Amino acid sequence: MKYFIGNWKMFGVPRSIKILNKINSFRAKDKNRNKYRVIITPPYTLLEYFAKQFKNKRITIGSQNCYQKDKFSSNTAAISPYMIRSVGAKYTLVGHSDNRAEGDTDLMLKNKVKFALKNNLKVVFCIGENKKQKKNNQTFGVLKKQLVKVLEKKLNKNNIIVAYEPIWSIGTGKIPKQKDLLKTTIYIKKVLKNIFKKKSPPVLYGGSVDGDNIDTFRQIKEINGFLIGGASKSSKKFIDIIKNYYR
């Protein structure tokens, strides 16, 4: 099973549902529809509306983040995993580089993962190195630390997906060389197998994915799907990625 996850970031109002309607209509007719899942993560303001509209359809709704506490607390503007699940969302991103840059620590991320899983949310855990770390050949060390500091054997790996998003690639149009991405994906899966002592959870790639470069990625069978940013805000661009992947 492949995953195509759209991260809308700070984008979308209620009328933006027309984007999802077009993607849903495409999936209904797509002969490859049983080979992949589509997950869209809109901002908090749209979670309940979108989740209700697509409850029994071909798109699943997730959150872009969650707070590191379980249900309710006195933290102003915080949204807990319990609250996210209560409105019908089924996934949440955790550890996106945007949130790490805003102060998310390993301990915070560990709690986010723990409470998200406790509240029956599937977790898309994001990891990635920055430009300086890549230049200094620190990629593997950085990724291993990000994984082992947060994920534990006792967690339900069946509800965890890992998304590798090199920070230097996000929104830049630059993508890893095919051979480098293959090595990195294999390494990530090796670390995950050591953590869970079993088969690795799915590993996705994210970072400037579009309909033109998807052919480069689809040749790497170790990649189990994609976390898509800018292109997911356009139904045509998002659909083109799926079409070109299965052509």
Catalytic residues: 96, 165
- Cβ burial of 38 (10 Å; 0-12, 13-18, 19+) is buried
Contact 41, 9 (CB under 8 A): no
- Report the distance separating Cα 58 and Cα 60, nearest Å: 7
- Cβ burial of 57 (10 Å; 0-12, 13-18, 19+) is middle
Task: Tokens for 203, please give them.
Answer: 């590993």
Per DSSP (E only), the strands in 42-188 are 60-63, 91-94, 122-127, 160-164
